[in-house]
């Protein structure tokens, strides 16, 4: 087994669920607690006419052993906790309570560090389940996959190894969004900054986390229910763009949601965007490298949607009605009408996708009258209250890193291919 590749090891341990490459009727193309809103709920209001906050992104913790070169969070171009100080755990809980009074149903944990490297995180998740709030957790998986790290960060809760941690998570109202950029070990190590991070066996731990989560049933296929496990193949870089379709198919056939998208334009994502602009040529010496990247990106989206429609993952009628999502083959992004991002410094942002003056709703929520006041004065609130849209594509990237014509071109090409 010493020469076994990452993909071979995972395929041996994680069986295909949809063996004929056809998804059942009414299959739920979603992952639990991500914040994807239905047409029925997206523009709903409280009895007093206030548009509801239905989802919210938050940070919980600041420690991370990885050094991902594209990380949008661990960079002062997004925010600086040294200036305003970090929100305390109590403050975070109080803001969640306030949001719950405004309709909050679910949250995503984005950072600022690796959430499972916070010794209070499991207690926080238990509290959210008690409050009936679902939590989707972005994680790189190294704590989940390591018996030693799982114990170090969770022994106060009686957790002694990875298996016990996964079993505890399964009991809670939680889904796991596992970072998974590539099957290639060397490339994945570059994606997490292996040269300067202390986790030298990262890929082994990530793979073990994925295996343990599937064995515990996070990807169990329950009719009409979303999966509780996702592989996050983001950002799509020049290095891994040719592999994204394969990862998408691989995960979906195992009832694992697979989400990918281009880089954010915040934090180190700004550097990644500039790098793609300046250096991408796919080995062919293209004179206009970014145009080549966008062409490859367009083809990737077309191929993902074509496969999704042909396998009944997405119906043709639904695709025509909803259009192309920022996340190819996934639920349209409408979170910028459902809530906002409260980060660890107290800054309130439109979403993680971009961080500039136009996308910051408050520099420090502690200085505001209330969370409700920040919400009602935001552009996200106006989308919820006064629009009737369902697919908001990506207000952060559109017209910046993604051309405004991108989605219509993808849709036209997909419909041409599935005639």
Tens of each residue's pLDDT in the chain, 419 residues:
457 889 999 999 999 999 988 999 989 999 999 999 999 999 999 999 999 999 999 999 899 999 999 999 888 888 877 777 899 999 999 999 999 999 999 999 998 899 999 999 999 999 999 999 999 999 999 999 999 999 999 999 999 999 999 999 999 999 999 999 999 999 999 999 999 999 999 999 999 999 999 999 999 999 999 999 999 999 999 999 999 999 999 999 999 999 999 999 999 998 888 887 775 554 555 556 677 889 999 999 999 999 999 999 999 999 999 999 999 999 999 999 999 999 999 999 999 999 999 999 999 999 999 999 999 999 999 999 999 999 999 999 999 889 989 999 999 999 999 98
Helix, strand and coil content of the chain, in percent to the nearest 5, comes to 40, 10, 50
Tokens of 251: 């995960």
CA dihedral 125, 102, 389, 294 (to 10 degrees): -40
The CATH number that applies at residue 209 is 3.20.20
What pLDDT is stored for residue 288 in this prediction?
62
What pLDDT is stored for residue 287 in this prediction?
58
What lies within 8 Å, CB to CB, of 266 at 6+ separation is: 72, 75, 77, 78, 352, 353, 354, 355
The residue behind tokens 């979170």 is: 335
Residue 231, classed as helix, strand or coil, is strand
**CA separation for the pair 43, 85 (Å, rounded):** 34
Q: What are phi and psi of 214, to 5 degrees?
A: -70, -40
| End-to-end CA, the chain | 45
Q: Has residue 98 been placed in a domain? A: yes
Q: Has residue 1 been placed in a domain? A: no
Q: Has residue 220 been placed in a domain? A: yes
Tokens of 290: 């970014």
Neighbours of 411 (CB within 10 A): 18
Residue 398, classed as helix, strand or coil, is strand
Residue 406, classed as helix, strand or coil, is helix
Q: What is the domain range of residue 397?
A: 6-417
Neighbours of 373 (CB within 10 A): 12
Length of the chain: 419
Single pTM value for the model: 0.95
How many domains is the chain built from?
1
If you write DSSP's letter for every residue of 85-143 in order, what string do you get?
Answer: -PPPHHHHHHHHHHHHHTT--EEEEEESS-GGG-TTHHHHHHHHHHTT-EEEEEE-STT
**CA separation for the pair 80, 39 (Å, rounded):** 36
Inter-residue contact 395 to 336 (CB < 8 Å): yes
Q: Has residue 332 been placed in a domain? A: yes
Q: Has residue 234 been placed in a domain? A: yes
> Dihedral of CA 411/412/416/417: which sign?
negative
């Amino acid at each position: 087994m010493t020469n076994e590749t990452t993909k071979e090891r995972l395929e041996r341990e994680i069986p295909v669920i949809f063996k004929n490459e056809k998804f059942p009727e009414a299959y739920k193309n979603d992952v639990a607690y991500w914040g994807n809103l239905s047409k029925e709920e997206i523009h709903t209001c409280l009895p007093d006419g206030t548009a509801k906050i239905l989802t919210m992104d938050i940070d919980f913790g600041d420690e991370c052993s990885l050094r991902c070169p594209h990380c949008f969070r661990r960079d002062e171009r997004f925010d600086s906790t040294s200036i305003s100080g970090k929100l305390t755990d109590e403050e975070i809980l109080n803001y969640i309570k306030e949001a719950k009074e405004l309709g909050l149903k679910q949250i995503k944990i984005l950072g600022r560090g690796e959430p499972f490297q916070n010794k209070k995180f499991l207690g926080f998740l238990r509290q959210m389940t008690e409050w009936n709030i679902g939590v989707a957790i972005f994680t790189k998986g190294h704590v989940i996959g390591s018996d030693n790290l799982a114990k170090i960060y969770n022994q106060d809760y009686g957790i002694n190894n990875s298996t016990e941690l996964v079993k505890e998570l399964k009991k809670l109202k939680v889904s796991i969004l596992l970072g998974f950029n590539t099957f290639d070990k060397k490339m994945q190590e570059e994606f997490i900054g292996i040269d300067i991070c202390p986790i030298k066996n990262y890929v082994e731990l990530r793979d073990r986390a994925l295996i343990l989560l599937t064995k515990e049933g996070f990807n169990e296929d329950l009719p009409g229910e979303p999966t509780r496990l996702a592989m996050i193949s983001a950002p799509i870089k020049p290095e891994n763009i040719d592999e994204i379709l394969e990862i998408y198919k691989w995960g979906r056939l195992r009832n694992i949601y697979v989400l990918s998208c281009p880089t954010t334009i915040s934090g180190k994502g700004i550097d990644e965007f500039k790098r793609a602009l300046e250096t991408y040529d796919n080995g062919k010496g293209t004179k206009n490298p970014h145009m080549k990247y966008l062409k490859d990106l367009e083809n990737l989206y077309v191929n993902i949607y074509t496969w999704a429609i042909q396998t009944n993952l997405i119906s043709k009628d639904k695709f025509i009605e909803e259009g192309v999502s920022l996340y190819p083959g996934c639920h349209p992004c409408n979170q910028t009408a459902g809530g906002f991002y409260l980060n660890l410094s107290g800054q309130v942002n439109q979403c993680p996708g971009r961080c500039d003056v136009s996308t910051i709703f408050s520099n420090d929520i502690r200085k505001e009258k209330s969370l409700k006041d920040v919400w009602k004065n935001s552009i996200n609130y106006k989308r919820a209250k006064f629009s009737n849209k369902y697919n908001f594509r990506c207000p952060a990237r559109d017209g910046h890193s993604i051309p405004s014509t991108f989605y219509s071109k993808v849709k036209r090409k997909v419909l041409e291919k599935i005639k």
